[in-house]
Structure 1
């Protein structure tokens, strides 16, 4: 799913001359990464002409599915989830229980008001819960749990009927959380509680720490970055540290 102005995103997966150009310049490692992108995924573009919400965008994707595909994944790129086996676990839960499966993370109770919060019931598996309700950005004191949504969903095809049955919210947008709330009353919905890393990249407060962590883990750039960070921490310890304590 993309907008009319972001066709360049799809070019990342094209088998075009960039790989050959990189090899000609002796950049074999970068060329292999470009070539790999074209081998692991074959994208089909679905254009959302107007920003009418995530559920509207999901609904447009129905035309890209084959008739025998009864569920599909929604993966939002501004949520980075590790380990990457999370989606495989969600598929297993779908195969065992049916319905739709979402990925949840445990959040500090004081932070849940920034996310969609799940109301859940226990199942036989510790990390699998049945969803009985979902509230978007509820007040902390009203939250039914500390399990919040992430940008990973495995949705039953029934989701495609939701845009015709939910009310548009602020800005005329149709929200996926409203569609899921509708599904909960009609079909089974489960969450898998994620054990691992989740970086939310939708704002600088999430993007910057994620960049630092990935940089530190890089075998080539990590040691130098670590040394730079130590220097910067010492440089700003008094100024930033004092500001943090006073806030």
Structure 2
């Protein structure tokens, strides 16, 4: 191994060590209760060294959100690929999202915080002229991204937004597959339905406590509620004439 390659590997290892330390602290205390000093102490580096790898605490937080997002997308793709019909792919997508919520609660919690409005994501995207446009090419939905290369958005945030678009495309194409194979109604707009189902998935992971208590009083726990909602969605989009 050359000196250049060894230094590159050592730098990457140190970057991962910093992210691991920050992740541990963010999971335990939340974003606002963790400082760069705390992270430096946890990873046993100087604060000045941290700034050689990350511009600020926000960038570090985004790197951890990205970790969770990569796991989420990988989980969804694996589940969707197992299903053959379009309507089953839609169900598989939602099952994977629910499994991620249950299996990775810490990543889910920081992802919710990422979307909470604490970070002005819309402003960052607008300032960097990022525009995702979903279009259909040769019977398959794809996303076209326009990006101002002279003023790139934070690389971690850019990747997170790309993965968000990827999930929406997976759902769009699952619905399109269902329309083509006859398991989903032909009058369903794939993009519109994908946005709706994506919104439902997010809300399902954040049911108000008082609503959960109401459901429990009727003998409906969280798992049963998720299963019942899935049945309603299938009835809503399925092609009953098939």
Normalised-by-shorter TM-score class: under 0.3
- Using CA pairs below 8 Å that are at least 6 residues apart, which structure has the higher relative contact order? 1
Higher share of residues assigned helix: 2
TM-score (norm 1): 0.26
TM-score (norm 2): 0.26
Higher share of residues assigned strand: 1
